[in-house]
Structures are given as structure tokens and as C-alpha cells.
Amino acid sequence: MKMKNVFIALIAIIFVSCNSEAQTEKEKKDMNEKQYAVEKTEAEWKAELTPEEYRILRQKGTEYPGTGKYNLHFEDGAYTCKGCGTKLFESGQKFESSCGWPSFDDAIEGTVEYIQDYTHGMVRTEILCANCGGHLGHVFDDGPTETGKRYCVNSASINFEKDGE
């Protein structure tokens, strides 16, 4: 009788494990089907973006460190999403991090979406444009400013608008 109970418990554990994995897959599927204010077909994105911008914004790529246009860029203005033009970061939020990518200590409230990213054997928080779903980069809890955050952003995912333009 005791062996039968152990067997039933094992079956229950296996069932729950499989069921929670299926739920995780469902959640991933739901996230991929999220609707954004700006929706375009893949053909439209490819027509509007360069191949590198498309790879980063739409396929979650990363540019090589130290190669981005805005890595060492410090002018007054705002950084916008290259995919849809949404204002994401103010120049006052930018700081020199020596990581090789533009770094900000905060985003403009409501403009960035946060997604857990388990790729490449790491646990990170991916940041997306909340308006079009474009991949911007990742946010880390190692920033040197009051927020303690470092929004590590690909230059190819953003544009810059100088103050007064």
C-alpha cells in the first residue's frame, strides 16, 4: 500500500510539472501576441528600418559594444524609439557607463515595457518600447546614480531630437 501511495505522489508531481511548463509556454505565446498601439507587418518594418535596425528592434539583436552612434553622445534633448518615434529617455537621464552602449538611469514613465529574459543562460530584464514593442536593450541594477538602474540601450533602436527641434 505504501508503494502505491509513493507511485501516485510521483505521478502527481510529474503532472503538475508538465502542467506548469505548458502554462509557461502559453504565457510566452501570449506575450508574443501582445497588441501595441503601433502595429506593422514584418514587410512594413523591413521597408522602414535598415537591416541592422530591424535585427535589433524586431529580432532582439544587440549591436557590438562601442560601435553605436549614441554611446558617447551627450547633447541636450531626448532619445526616441527608432521604430515609432515615442520619446523614451531625456538627455538628463543619460550617463557615461563605460559598458559600450548608451546608458540611462531611468526612462520616461510609461514608455518602456519590462520583460524577463532568460536567454543566453542569464536572467535579465529586457526593455521594449511600450508603444510598438521594439527591443531597446536591457536594464540592470548596477547603475551609479540614485536610481541604481542602468538602462543599456542599443543606439540602432533610438534616434535623438535636440532641444528646440
CA distance 64 to 78: 23
CA distance 104 to 107: 7
Which residues have CB under 8 Å from 149's CB, separation 6+?
A: 105, 106, 139, 140, 141, 143
With contact defined as beta carbons under 8 Å apart, do 136 and 48 qualify?
no
CA distance 62 to 126: 12
| Positive/negative CA dihedral, 65, 70, 75, 77 | negative
99 is catalytic: no
Question: Catalytic: which of 81, 84, 132, 152?
Answer: 152
Catalytic residue set = 152
